[in-house]
A and B are shown apart, each in its own frame.
Chain A
Amino acid sequence: GQNIDQPTEMTATEGAIVQINCTYQTSGFNGLFWYQQHAGEAPTFLSYNVLDGLEEKGRFSSFLSRSKGYSYLLLKELQMKDSASYLCAVKDSNYQLIWGAGTKLIIKP
């Protein structure tokens, strides 16, 4: 079967750095996405990785290791508005998106 694993919930302090991990077992791989979803709102696209390595976009970075079936989202200089769920999703060999259950990130002052 296909599976995406993420921690259910994480807590971090404003101004700090947090790393949200995602491991996957899928039938094929055609890219990995990170989306942010605030409570009651639409998921919004954060990043896309298809090759190994780190993609940096402002305060957010995403890393991929295809051999390990592993990715992480790194959030720096945390702000209260970063409190949200972070969804990892993998595109499989049929280009279908397989979603993780999401990680709820709580930012404390």
Chain B
Amino acid sequence: DTEVTQTPKHLVMGMTNKKSLKCEQHMGHRAMYWYKQKAKKPPELMFVYSYEKLSINESVPSRFSPECPNSSLLNLHLHALQPEDSALYLCASSPMTEINSGANVLTFGAGSRLTVL
């Protein structure tokens, strides 16, 4: 299995809703990432988990709450979002053994397209 699976593919939510994005990989990768991507923009790093522990939080607002229940799963809990949070949310994973080497290739999921009304 060489895939990163994300659900749901599309999500529409109101500003008062609570929802979650889910990500799963079975490649044995020990680093997992959340990125946010706006149209015609590069991916912006949000969070990095290494060995199920949060290692990087790029000053993301608290209305986004990540969770890594185990080495295969990564969730992003959403609460009280704003319309400007509408974007494609990408999950990625990489081999932990290469985290501090150059060739730490990210494998991305297809993304969850979020629309906040």
Contact = CB atoms under 8 A, between A and B. Distances in A.
Given A44-B108, A102-B40, A97 B45 contact: yes
Interface of B: 4, 40-45, 88, 90, 99-111, 113
A107 B103 CA distance: 30
B42 A102 contact: yes
A43 B45 CA distance: 14
Nearest to B110: A42
B32 to A, nearest CB: 14
A43 to B, nearest CB: 5
Contacts of A102: 40-42
A13 interface: no
Contacts of B111: 40-42
Interface core residue of A43, A100, A101, A102 (most chain B CB under 10 Å): A43
Nearest to A104: B40
A29 to B, nearest CB: 9
A89 B108 CA distance: 14
B90 A95 contact: no
Interface in A48-94: 48, 50, 87, 89, 91
- 8 A-B pairs closest in CB distance: A31-B102, A99-B42, A42-B108, A30-B102, A42-B110, A50-B102, A43-B108, A45-B105
A91 B101 CA distance: 10
A96 B45 CA distance: 9
Given A4-B42, A33-B105, A42-B108, 14 more contacts: A8-B40, A31-B102, A42-B110, A45-B107, A91-B102, A95-B99, A95-B102, A97-B106, A99-B43, A99-B44, A101-B40, A101-B41, A101-B42, A102-B42
Contacts of B42: 4, 87, 89, 99-102
Nearest to A99: B42
21 contacts: A31-B102, A40-B88, A40-B111, A40-B113, A41-B110, A41-B111, A42-B90, A42-B109, A43-B90, A43-B106, A45-B107, A48-B105, A50-B102, A50-B103, A87-B43, A95-B99, A95-B104, A96-B45, A99-B43, A99-B44, A102-B41
